[in-house]
Amino acid sequence: MMKLFLPAACVLTMAAAMPVHADPGDFGAMPGLWKIQVRHVANGKVGAPQVQWHCVDEGADPWTTFAAWTPAEGECTATDQHRRSTSLAWKLSCKAAPAATAHVDFDSAKHYTGSVTAEGRGEITQVEGDRYAACTSPQD
């Protein structure tokens, strides 16, 4: 089975290369402690969630904060990025995998859903984020 997550270094490299399109302060997500659940989708079956927690600072760049979870196979580059006050959408161009599209959509300032869809395979990953509380320390 092919791994669906990029190594951490690749994710950080991809996030650092993403251009900022607007002031992060105009993005409709609240700062604080977020619980992110990422689920793999294989043959139409959604797997168990992998839970990640992270603290989002006020004014944080939405691309590096809410799009850094992007799973894909092989080395991938984010392209054709579109940002609105409550959503992010982009394409992934990967060396060892079919092209893919990804999106994150906020239905409130405290909740979002998103997914990655690979060409010829359909949805391969689902993500959901929930804001739980204010961050209380740098260790959050």
Q: What amino acid is encoded at 39 in this protein?
A: R
Taking the C-alpha atoms of residue 76 and residue 73, their distance in angstroms, rounded to an integer, is 7
pLDDT in tens, 92-110: 887 777 888 999 999 999 9
Listed by start position, the domains of the chain span 27-133
Name the band, by pLDDT with cuts 50, 70 and 90, for residue 70: low
pLDDT at 137: 65
Q: How many whole angstroms separate alpha carbon 65 and alpha carbon 55?
A: 9
19-49 pLDDT tens trace: 444 454 567 789 999 999 999 898 889 999 9
Q: What percent of the chain has pLDDT over 70?
A: 74
Report for 3-17, 85-99, 110-124: range of highest mean pLDDT: 110-124
Q: Does 27-133 carry CATH code 2.60.40?
A: no
DSSP symbol at 40: E
